[in-house]
Protein backbone atom coordinates (compact mmCIF):
# COMPACT_ATOMS: atom_id res chain seq x y z
CA UNK A 1 0.00 0.00 0.00
CA UNK A 2 1.43 3.35 -1.10
CA UNK A 3 0.22 6.33 0.95
CA UNK A 4 0.40 9.72 -0.78
CA UNK A 5 -0.57 13.10 0.66
CA UNK A 6 -0.84 16.09 -1.68
CA UNK A 7 -0.19 19.44 0.02
CA UNK A 8 -0.84 23.03 -1.06
CA UNK A 9 -1.63 26.25 0.80
CA UNK A 10 -5.42 26.30 1.18
CA UNK A 11 -6.35 22.66 0.33
CA UNK A 12 -9.20 23.99 -1.81
CA UNK A 13 -7.62 24.24 -5.30
CA UNK A 14 -4.42 22.42 -6.23
CA UNK A 15 -4.07 19.57 -3.72
CA UNK A 16 -7.73 18.46 -3.88
CA UNK A 17 -7.35 18.57 -7.67
CA UNK A 18 -4.31 16.30 -7.43
CA UNK A 19 -6.18 14.01 -5.03
CA UNK A 20 -9.18 13.73 -7.38
CA UNK A 21 -7.06 13.10 -10.49
CA UNK A 22 -4.91 10.47 -8.76
CA UNK A 23 -7.92 8.68 -7.28
CA UNK A 24 -9.53 8.62 -10.74
CA UNK A 25 -6.38 7.10 -12.29
CA UNK A 26 -6.07 4.52 -9.49
CA UNK A 27 -9.76 3.59 -9.88
CA UNK A 28 -9.47 3.24 -13.67
CA UNK A 29 -6.53 0.87 -13.15
CA UNK A 30 -8.41 -1.06 -10.42
CA UNK A 31 -5.56 -0.37 -7.96
CA UNK A 32 -7.65 0.98 -5.07
CA UNK A 33 -6.22 -1.67 -2.73
CA UNK A 34 -2.67 -0.44 -3.43
CA UNK A 35 -3.05 3.30 -2.83
CA UNK A 36 -4.23 5.59 -0.06
CA UNK A 37 -4.58 9.15 -1.39
CA UNK A 38 -5.39 12.29 0.63
CA UNK A 39 -4.68 16.03 0.58
CA UNK A 40 -4.08 18.80 3.13
CA UNK A 41 -3.28 22.51 3.38
CA UNK A 42 -0.56 24.43 5.20
CA UNK A 43 -3.02 27.27 5.88
CA UNK A 44 -6.15 26.46 7.88
CA UNK A 45 -8.44 29.26 6.69
CA UNK A 46 -10.70 27.00 4.63
CA UNK A 47 -10.94 23.96 6.91
CA UNK A 48 -14.11 21.94 6.28
CA UNK A 49 -14.80 23.57 2.91
CA UNK A 50 -15.36 21.77 -0.38
CA UNK A 51 -12.82 22.61 -3.10
CA UNK A 52 -13.20 26.10 -4.61
CA UNK A 53 -16.24 26.27 -6.95
CA UNK A 54 -13.98 27.30 -9.88
CA UNK A 55 -11.71 24.31 -9.28
CA UNK A 56 -14.68 21.96 -9.11
CA UNK A 57 -16.15 23.40 -12.31
CA UNK A 58 -12.94 23.10 -14.34
CA UNK A 59 -12.26 19.61 -12.95
CA UNK A 60 -15.83 18.50 -13.76
CA UNK A 61 -15.32 19.57 -17.39
CA UNK A 62 -12.55 16.93 -17.51
CA UNK A 63 -14.65 14.30 -15.75
CA UNK A 64 -13.33 14.63 -12.19
CA UNK A 65 -15.61 15.01 -9.17
CA UNK A 66 -13.82 16.85 -6.36
CA UNK A 67 -15.64 16.27 -3.09
CA UNK A 68 -12.95 16.27 -0.41
CA UNK A 69 -13.17 18.62 2.57
CA UNK A 70 -10.26 20.91 3.40
CA UNK A 71 -8.08 20.00 6.35
CA UNK A 72 -4.76 21.23 7.66
CA UNK A 73 -1.47 19.35 7.45
CA UNK A 74 -0.69 17.67 10.79
CA UNK A 75 3.11 17.30 10.88
CA UNK A 76 3.41 14.62 13.54
CA UNK A 77 0.59 12.41 12.22
CA UNK A 78 1.04 12.99 8.49
CA UNK A 79 4.83 12.47 8.33
CA UNK A 80 4.26 9.16 10.13
CA UNK A 81 1.21 8.00 8.14
CA UNK A 82 2.26 8.86 4.56
CA UNK A 83 5.09 7.56 2.35
CA UNK A 84 5.09 10.59 0.06
CA UNK A 85 4.19 14.20 0.95
CA UNK A 86 3.84 15.98 -2.39
CA UNK A 87 3.95 19.80 -2.45
CA UNK A 88 2.97 22.15 -5.26
CA UNK A 89 5.40 25.11 -5.08
CA UNK A 90 8.53 26.52 -3.41
CA UNK A 91 6.59 27.89 -0.46
CA UNK A 92 4.92 24.52 0.23
CA UNK A 93 8.25 22.66 -0.01
CA UNK A 94 10.01 25.19 2.22
CA UNK A 95 7.30 24.99 4.89
CA UNK A 96 7.21 21.18 4.77
CA UNK A 97 11.00 21.06 5.15
CA UNK A 98 10.75 23.37 8.17
CA UNK A 99 8.10 21.12 9.73
CA UNK A 100 10.05 17.89 9.16
CA UNK A 101 11.85 16.85 12.34
CA UNK A 102 14.43 14.44 10.94
CA UNK A 103 15.97 13.07 7.72
CA UNK A 104 13.40 10.30 7.41
CA UNK A 105 10.57 12.85 7.41
CA UNK A 106 12.48 15.14 5.02
CA UNK A 107 13.01 12.22 2.64
CA UNK A 108 9.24 11.90 2.20
CA UNK A 109 8.87 15.41 0.72
CA UNK A 110 8.46 15.61 -3.08
CA UNK A 111 7.76 18.38 -5.58
CA UNK A 112 4.88 17.45 -7.86
CA UNK A 113 6.36 18.99 -11.02
CA UNK A 114 9.35 16.63 -10.74
CA UNK A 115 6.96 13.97 -12.09
CA UNK A 116 5.91 15.99 -15.18
CA UNK A 117 6.80 14.52 -18.57
CA UNK A 118 5.32 17.12 -20.93
CA UNK A 119 5.36 20.33 -18.88
CA UNK A 120 9.02 20.05 -17.93
CA UNK A 121 9.52 23.82 -18.12
CA UNK A 122 7.45 24.24 -14.91
CA UNK A 123 8.99 23.76 -11.47
CA UNK A 124 5.78 24.53 -9.59
CA UNK A 125 1.99 24.44 -9.93
CA UNK A 126 1.07 28.14 -9.63
CA UNK A 127 -1.47 29.18 -7.02
CA UNK A 128 -4.66 29.85 -9.07
CA UNK A 129 -6.65 31.49 -6.27
CA UNK A 130 -6.39 35.06 -7.57
CA UNK A 131 -6.27 34.05 -11.26
CA UNK A 132 -8.94 33.61 -13.88
CA UNK A 133 -10.10 30.50 -15.72
CA UNK A 134 -6.73 30.09 -17.48
CA UNK A 135 -5.03 29.60 -14.12
CA UNK A 136 -7.32 26.70 -13.24
CA UNK A 137 -6.85 25.09 -16.66
CA UNK A 138 -3.06 25.34 -16.26
CA UNK A 139 -3.30 23.74 -12.80
CA UNK A 140 -5.25 20.82 -14.27
CA UNK A 141 -2.88 20.45 -17.25
CA UNK A 142 0.13 20.30 -14.92
CA UNK A 143 -1.55 17.99 -12.41
CA UNK A 144 -2.75 15.52 -15.07
CA UNK A 145 0.76 15.35 -16.52
CA UNK A 146 2.49 14.98 -13.15
CA UNK A 147 0.07 12.39 -11.82
CA UNK A 148 0.64 10.00 -14.71
CA UNK A 149 4.36 10.28 -13.92
CA UNK A 150 3.81 9.85 -10.18
CA UNK A 151 1.52 6.84 -10.69
CA UNK A 152 4.12 5.13 -12.88
CA UNK A 153 6.91 6.01 -10.45
CA UNK A 154 4.92 4.32 -7.65
CA UNK A 155 3.97 1.34 -9.82
CA UNK A 156 7.58 0.63 -10.83
CA UNK A 157 9.03 0.72 -7.34
P1 LIG B 1 -4.62 26.28 -2.98
O2 LIG B 1 -5.12 27.76 -3.36
O3 LIG B 1 -3.40 26.43 -2.12
O4 LIG B 1 -4.29 25.67 -4.32
O5 LIG B 1 -5.78 25.62 -2.28
C6 LIG B 1 -5.35 28.74 -2.41
C7 LIG B 1 -6.56 28.79 -1.76
C8 LIG B 1 -6.81 29.77 -0.82
C9 LIG B 1 -5.84 30.71 -0.53
C10 LIG B 1 -4.60 30.64 -1.17
C11 LIG B 1 -4.37 29.65 -2.10
N12 LIG B 1 -6.08 31.72 0.41
O13 LIG B 1 -5.20 32.58 0.62
O14 LIG B 1 -7.17 31.77 1.01
Residue nearest to atom 9 of ligand 1 (CA): 10
* Residue of 40, 50, 127, 139 to test ligand 1 pocket, by largest number of atoms within 8 Å of CB: 127
Pocket of ligand 1 (CB under 6 A): 8-14, 45, 127, 129
Residue nearest to atom 7 of ligand 1 (CA): 10
Report field, pTM of the whole predicted structure over 0.95: yes
C-alpha 123: how far from chain center: 14
Distance 56 CA to ligand 1 centre (A): 14
Residues labelled catalytic? 8, 14, 127
DSSP tag of 34 = G
157 residues of the chain, pLDDT tens digit each: 999 999 999 999 999 999 999 999 999 999 999 999 999 999 999 999 999 999 999 999 999 999 999 999 999 999 999 999 999 999 999 999 999 999 999 999 999 999 999 999 999 999 999 989 999 999 999 999 999 999 999 998 6
Query: DSSP states of 119-148 as a string?
Result: -TT-SS----TTS-HHHHHHHHHHHHHHHH
pLDDT reported for residue 59: 98
Angle between helices 53-61 and 14-28 (to 10 degrees): 30
Find out whether 48 and 10 touch, Cβ atoms under 8 Å.
Answer: no
Residue from 81, 68, 72 nearest 4 by CA: 81
pLDDT reported for residue 64: 98
Residue from 123, 96, 126 nearest 108 by CA: 96
Find out whether 82 and 22 touch, Cβ atoms under 8 Å.
Answer: no
Cα gap 22→135, rounded to integer Å: 20
Residue from 155, 15, 144, 150 nearest 72 by CA: 15
* Residue of 6, 8, 9, 11 to test ligand 1 pocket, by largest number of atoms within 8 Å of CB: 9
Residue from 100, 70, 76, 49 nearest 7 by CA: 70
Find out whether 106 and 75 touch, Cβ atoms under 8 Å.
Answer: no
Amino acid sequence: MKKILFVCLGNICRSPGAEGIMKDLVRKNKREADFHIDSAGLYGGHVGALPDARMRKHAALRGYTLDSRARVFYPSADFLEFDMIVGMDDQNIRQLCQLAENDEERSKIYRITDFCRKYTQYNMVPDPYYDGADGFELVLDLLEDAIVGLYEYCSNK
